[in-house]
DNA sequence: TCTGGGGTCCTATAGCCT
DNA sequence: TCTGAGGCTATAGGACCC
């Protein structure tokens, strides 16, 4: 049986801000957007003090401000958080090279071949991260990634939770379906329409039925995941498949020149960024979101993979021409897909 | 009234080819 | 030549993750 650790930083962005600005410690703070509760943006991370007011990730900053007028709003300083993240990942690499990066604030470690027990390793990791950064994390230990991740979520903050296959019935099945990795708000409500509210109730549905309801790949995934089954390996190295930049306008716009100009800048930026990293892309996609939040895309395959700003801007501009723009535009974005490293 | 930005993966459909 | 089955690619949209 494998031994997998999931390390998840507690309220990462907010905790970093409270570390570097001691006057913020113990206060309700919200990190998101440009840090202005009057402008468009969402909450990236709320400190535990702010969560008591009902503020949570993904919430509009304006809504968070209404719930908690006393909260302190800070802009996202992504570069700084990435630097802290890098130091934490370096610490983890000292324990094993078998690491899957799970984003800026989490990672999976396969410690199956280590001499020390997973719990000893987890304790040591928590101690080292605390010493080096002053930050706390929660660690889940299980026989696969799925259960390790759910375990790390069971006791937060500063938790250390072990889940064995025998624990699935008692500790996973009572949870709401939304807690299962891969179930978002849409699937949760589709399940509730059928009277399924807990992971245990989901596990009672046979595989054929789930495939009928949700299609082949997702139906099978739900069948296995609800039972705590997950054979997926750790992915220790991966190459990007796409790269994109998008902006939401501070106010919806119907100025075509402004939209075209913004698109050109985004395309220029995406081209430079992939080129700098030595990639070329095969296709270009333009995304528009209108004032009613309807989102549409148009894409075009290039004659040959490219990182040329001119080529990518031209393709993006052609895509934009194919839209019927009769509503105000809220967001515009450019994505380059099919990335390959040039020789 | 609100609903960011940067990704991944899956599904459906349509066209083309064998 | 017609018809159909599949495979493959391009395109558009949707759900989910941090």
Confidence of residue A343 (pLDDT cuts 50, 70, 90): low
Considering only CA atoms, which of A272, A271, A264, A270 is closest in space to residue A317?
A264
Q: How far is the CA of A216 from the C1' of C3 (A)?
A: 29
Q: What is the pLDDT of residues A99-157, one digit of tens each?
A: 999 999 999 999 999 999 999 999 999 999 999 999 999 999 999 999 999 999 999 99
> What does the DSSP 8-state code read for residue A233?
P
> Which helix (H) or strand (E) element contains residue A242?
strand A242-253
Helix (H, G, I), strand (E, B) or coil at A111: coil
Q: Which nucleotides of C are covered by protein (CB under 7 A)?
A: 9-18
Task: Convert the pLDDT of each residue in A16-27 to its tens digit.
Answer: 999 999 999 999
- How does DSSP assign A160-224, residue by residue? EEE--GGGIIIIITTSBGGGSTT--HHHHHHHHHTT--BHHHHHTS-HHHHHHHH-HHHHHHHHH
A241 touches strand B (CB under 7 A): yes
Residues (165-224, chain A) with CB within 7 Å of strand B atoms: 215-218
Q: What is the pLDDT of residue A120?
A: 98
Nearest to A305 by CA among A278, A286, A332: A278
Distance of CA A88 to the CA centre of its chain: 18
Q: Distance between CA atoms of A330 and A288, rounded to whole angstroms?
A: 8
A139-150 pLDDT, tens digit per residue, is: 999 999 999 999
Bridge partner residues of A336 (DSSP) = A243, A284
Structure tokens that stand for A295 in this block:
């989102």
Question: H or E stretch including A330?
Answer: strand A329-337
pLDDT at A307 over 90: yes
* CA–C1' A113–C2 (A): 62
> Tokens 């009572």 correspond to what residue?
A174
Distance CA A79, CA A298 (A): 31
> pLDDT class for A306, splitting at 50, 70, 90?
very high
What the block records as the tokens of A102 is 């799970």
DSSP for A5-67, please give it. Answer: EEEEETTHHHHHHHHH-GGGTTS-EEE-TTS-TTSS-B-SEE-HHHHTTT--TT-BHHHHHHH
Through-space separation of residue A57 CA and nucleotide B18 C1' in angstroms = 51
Which backbone phi and psi does A327 adopt, to 5 degrees? -115, 165
The reply to whether A149 has its C-beta less than 7 Å from any atom of strand C is yes
Is the minimum distance from the CB of A299 to strand B below 7 Å? no
Q: Is the CB of A41 under 7 A from strand B?
A: yes
Does residue A246 approach strand B to less than 7 Å at its CB?
Answer: yes
Whether the CB of A189 is less than 7 Å away from nucleic strand C comes out as: no
Q: Residues A70-97: what's their mean pLDDT?
A: 95
How high is the pLDDT of residue A324? 85
The verdict on whether A106 is a catalytic residue reads: yes
**pLDDT at A5 > cutoff 90:** yes
In this complex, the answer to whether residue A297 has its CB under 7 A from any atom of chain C, a nucleic strand, is yes
Query: What tokens does A164 get?
Result: 């064995």
Q: Within 7 Å: CB of A333 and strand B?
A: yes
Say whether pLDDT at A37 is over 70: yes
Contact A296, A265 (CB under 8 A): no
Closest by CA position to A286, among listed A241, A331, A339: A331
- Chain-wide mean pLDDT for chain A? 94
Q: Name the DSSP letter for residue A150.
A: H
- Round and report the angstrom distance from CA (A224) to C1' (C4): 36
Whole-model pTM: value is: 0.94
**Token output for A122:** 């987890």
Q: Residue A107 and residue A9: Cα distance in Å, rounded? A: 9
> Do A199 and A153 contact (CB within 8 A), yes or no?
no
| Distance from residue A296's CA to nucleotide C13's C1', rounded to whole Å | 8
Return the DSSP state at A308. -
Give the separation between CA A130 and CA A138, rounded to whole angstroms.
11
Residue A215's pLDDT is what? 85
Extract the tokens encoding A183.
Answer: 């179930």
**Cα A281 from Cα A342, distance rounded (Å):** 10
CB atoms within 10 A of CB A186: 8
Catalytic residue among A23, A49, A106, A193: A106
Residues 277-296 of A with CB under 7 A from strand C: 282-283, 285, 295-296
Q: What is the pLDDT of residues A213-252, one digit of tens each?
A: 888 889 999 999 999 999 999 999 888 999 999 999 999 9
Enter the DSSP assignment of A112: T
């Amino acid at each position: 049986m494998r031994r997998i650790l999931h390390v998840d930083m507690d309220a990462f962005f907010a905790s970093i801000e409270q570390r570097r600005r001691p006057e913020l410690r113990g206060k309700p703070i919200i990190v998101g957007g440009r840090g202005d509760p009057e402008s468009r943006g969402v909450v990236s991370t709320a400190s535990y003090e702010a969560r008591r007011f009902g503020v949570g990730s993904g919430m509009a900053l304006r809504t968070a401000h209404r719930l908690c007028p006393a909260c302190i709003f800070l802009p996202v300083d992504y570069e700084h958080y990435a630097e802290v993240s890098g130091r934490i990942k370096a610490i983890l690499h000292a324990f094993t090279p078998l690491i899957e990066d799970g984003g800026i604030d989490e990672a999976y470690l396969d410690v199956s071949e280590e001499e020390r027990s997973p719990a000893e390793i987890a304790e040591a990791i928590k101690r080292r991260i605390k010493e080096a950064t002053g930050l706390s994390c929660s660690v889940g230990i299980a026989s696969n990634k799925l259960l390790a991740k759910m375990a790390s979520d069971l006791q937060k903050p500063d938790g250390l939770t072990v889940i064995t296959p025998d624990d699935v019935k008692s500790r996973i099945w009572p949870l709401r379906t939304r807690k299962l990795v891969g179930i978002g708000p849409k699937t949760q409500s589709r399940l509730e329409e059928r009277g399924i509210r807990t992971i245990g109730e989901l596990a009672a549905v046979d595989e054929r039925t789930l495939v009928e309801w949700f299609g082949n790949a997702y139906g099978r995934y739900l069948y296995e995941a609800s039972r705590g089954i997950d054979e997926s390996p750790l992915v220790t190295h991966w190459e990007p498949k796409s790269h994109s930049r998008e902006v939401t306008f501070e106010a919806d716009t119907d100025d075509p020149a402004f939209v075209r100009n913004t698109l050109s800048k985004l395309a220029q930026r995406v081209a430079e960024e992939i080129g700098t990293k030595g990639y070329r892309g095969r296709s270009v996609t333009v995304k528009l979101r209108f004032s009613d939040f309807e989102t549409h895309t148009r894409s075009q395959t290039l004659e040959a993979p490219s990182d040329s700003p001119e080529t990518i801007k031209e393709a993006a501009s052609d895509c934009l021409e194919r839209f019927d723009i009769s509503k105000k535009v809220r967001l515009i974005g450019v994505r380059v897909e099919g990335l390959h490293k040039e020789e």
